[in-house]
């Protein structure tokens, strides 16, 4: 098995690391405290190709592969998980979905400005009453009498980048009697009448990645803006989430790596009882466990990214690998951030150091784009064939 990166993969990784350390790290704490959306750095990320890494150049992207995307997202997330969240949604939930299921016209119109970083994309699946049970949605899309547009009514919640998004991939019920097979996907222009944004959510972590509810009141969506066929929406949502889970795994690795590196440095420098605390076996055990879990998470995630890249040629699903990567990486992030706070002691609880931010940011990786409980269910069902 060859783990050697290509020149392109190393290039995008190094470019992302240089940018993240020089431009994102210095502002991360400030934007975390204010909750303000970091539009300037996000636009710079677009100029570097980070907002559409796997998007072909013909549609405004960088035209690189899934492993390059994963490596770049880890670097950005190690600097600030909120920037990583925005980058992940833009790439894997929004652009990836339209590239996979959209028409040529849709790709040119709705991917190009998002992949270039000129505009922001979002993904709207969750509703106030349906999180993990996504098929229980109530947002309705009714075809007009002349068949030219859908009239959409309903509410979506926890929409990452919702407060700033130009376009949103929306999932709504077109046939209430068909269950999951009655859900369709649409591309929404947020500047059109009938679209309303709710308040920005006051979150525990990833605070600079703006999140809000969005509401539709007799919103008129042209039929040509439907993504795929009627009734394909749930299939599209699940397919897009496979890619999204690799993105969250990458984000989680970035958080875990930052927490781990901070802990190693602190263990080397902090003295107690006349010795560096890294000389004590309790601290050594924590460092060993953190590093081992981080290495395993990286390998699982790169394996999933490889399977995703291969799927472009074979059409094979990579659900199992994506779920395993997301499950292990997110729990590794939470474990590592927790240990980092413990190693830092009182300073780990202080906002003077970024460790407490890593702790707050890590938790969401176990929740969004499929909770750890959902990942275990997916993995078990795929392995046993039992429902």
- List the catalytic residues: 369
Q: Cβ(83)–Cβ(41) under 8 Å?
A: yes
Q: Cβ(226)–Cβ(378) under 8 Å?
A: no
Distance of CA 289 to the CA centre of its chain: 26
Distances (CA, A) of 381 to 185, 320, 374: 26, 10, 11
Map the chain to HEC letters. CCCCCCHHHHHHHHHHHHHHHHHHHHHHHHHHHHCCCCHHHHHHHHHCCCCCCCCCHHHCCCCCCHHHHHHHHHHHHHHCHHHHHHHHHHHHHHHHHHHHHCCHHHHHHHHHHHHCCCCCEEEECCECCECCCHHHCCCEEEECCCCCEEEEEEEEEEEECCCCCCEEEEEEECCHHHHHHHEEEEEEECCCCCEEEEEECCCCCCCCCCEEEEEEEEEEEEHHHEECCCCCHHHHHHHHHHHHHHHHHHHHHHHHHHHHHHHHHHHHHCEECCEEHHHCHHHHHHHHHHHHHHHHHHHHHHHHHHHHHHHHHHCCCCHHHHHHHHHHHHHHHHHHHHHHHHHHHHHHHCCCCCHHHHHHHHHHCCCCCCCHHHHHHHHHHHHHCCC
Q: Nearest-CA neighbor of 172 among 109, 215, 120?
A: 215
Neighbours of 18 (CB within 10 A): 12
**What tokens does 138 get?**
């109530």
Neighbours of 160 (CB within 10 A): 28
Distance of CA 154 to the CA centre of its chain: 24
């Amino acid at each position: 098995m060859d783990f050697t990166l290509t020149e392109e993969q190393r290039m995008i990784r190094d470019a992302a690391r240089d940018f993240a350390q020089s431009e994102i790290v210095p502002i991360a704490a400030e934007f975390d405290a204010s909750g303000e959306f970091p539009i300037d750095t996000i636009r710079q990320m677009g100029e570097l190709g980070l907002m559409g890494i796997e998007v072909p150049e013909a549609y405004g992207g960088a035209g690189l592969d899934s492993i390059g995307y994963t490596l770049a997202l880890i670097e950005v997330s190690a600097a600030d998980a909120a920037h990583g969240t925005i980058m992940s949604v833009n790439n894997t939930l929004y652009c990836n979905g339209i590239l996979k299921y959209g028409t040529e016209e849709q790709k040119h119109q709705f991917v190009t400005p998002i992949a270039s970083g000129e505009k922001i994309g979002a993904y709207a699946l969750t509703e106030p009453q349906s999180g993990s049970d996504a098929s229980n949605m109530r947002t309705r899309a009714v075809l007009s009498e002349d068949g030219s547009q859908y009239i959409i009514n309903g509410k979506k919640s926890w929409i990452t980048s919702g407060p700033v998004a130009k376009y949103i991939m929306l999932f709504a019920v077109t046939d209430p009697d068909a269950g999951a097979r009655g859900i369709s996907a649409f591309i929404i222009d947020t500047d059109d009448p009938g679209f309303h944004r709710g308040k920005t959510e006051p979150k525990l972590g990833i605070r600079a990645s703006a999140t809000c509810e969005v509401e539709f009141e007799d919103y008129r969506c042209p039929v040509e803006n439907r993504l795929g066929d009627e009734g394909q929406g749930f299939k599209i949502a699940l397919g897009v989430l496979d890619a999204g889970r690799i993105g969250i795994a990458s984000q989680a690795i970035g958080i875990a790596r930052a927490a781990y590196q901070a802990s190693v440095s602190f263990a080397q420098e902090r003295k107690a009882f006349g010795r560096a605390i890294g000389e004590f076996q309790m601290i050594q055990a924590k460092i060993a466990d953190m590093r081992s879990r981080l290495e395993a998470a990286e390998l699982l995630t790169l394996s999933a990214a490889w399977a995703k890249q291969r799927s472009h040629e074979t059409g094979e699903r990579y659900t199992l690998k994506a779920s395993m990567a997301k499950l292990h990486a997110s729990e590794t992030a939470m474990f590592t951030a927790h240990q980092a706070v413990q190693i830092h002691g009182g300073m780990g609880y202080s906002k003077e150091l970024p460790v407490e931010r890593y702790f707050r940011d890590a938790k969401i990786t176990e929740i969004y784009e499929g909770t750890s409980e959902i990942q275990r269910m997916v993995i078990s069902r795929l392995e046993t064939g039992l429902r």
